[in-house]
A and B are shown apart, each in its own frame.
Chain A
């Protein structure tokens, strides 16, 4: 199994630009999670989906952030416009849907906004 796949692995952009992060969950998993990790705030859950439907987006910091899951094998997290404080590592995780089902994390995308 390939595991959770994220792209790009590194992204450097300038303030004001649009950034799109991509995630391919593990085949057969129907829940997908986006996390952000910074030194100041640690690992935070931004949003999660079940069966392609957003369930909880209370962690999305601002309207500049949006996430979609058009099908079971693909999700995007978009930041428009990007700001330097968005610099972080963004992780995607997937699982089956259950109270104790394990979340498997991808390798992350390191975003730097100049």
Chain B
């Protein structure tokens, strides 16, 4: 499974965009990039996924570089409820391999 590298923690002001980076330089051509988040000790929550095109849904946008070696999750208007650990995962078929994630703290 391809490994991912994420910053340990990030801060963001409420109402501003949160940009969470992820490096996945060993990703192979058929592997997808997935993002999940975990709020406090709840079960992980799916956010978004993509292969090579940029994706957007009601929660976030995912920007994948052309060489697919890195990606950025964008929360356009962060709220206090977005404080969580965000996991970037390179998915190989059914398995999700979670790394240590980025702890995002959104402050007033």
Contacts and interface: CB of A to CB of B under 8 A. Distances in A.
B46 A103 contact: yes
Contacts, number: 49
A55 B94 CA distance: 10
Contact of B93 (A43, A89, A99, A106): A99
SS of A interface (majority) = strand
B44 A105 contact: yes
Residue among A104, A105, A108 with most chain B CB within 10 A: A105
Interface residues of B, number: 18
A106 B43 contact: yes
Given A99-B93, A100-B32, A43 B44 contact: yes
Interface in A61-114: 89, 91, 93, 95, 97, 99-100, 102-108, 110
Interface of B: 32, 41-46, 49, 87, 91, 93-100
Interface of A: 4, 31, 33, 42-45, 48, 50, 55-56, 89, 91, 93, 95, 97, 99-100, 102-108, 110
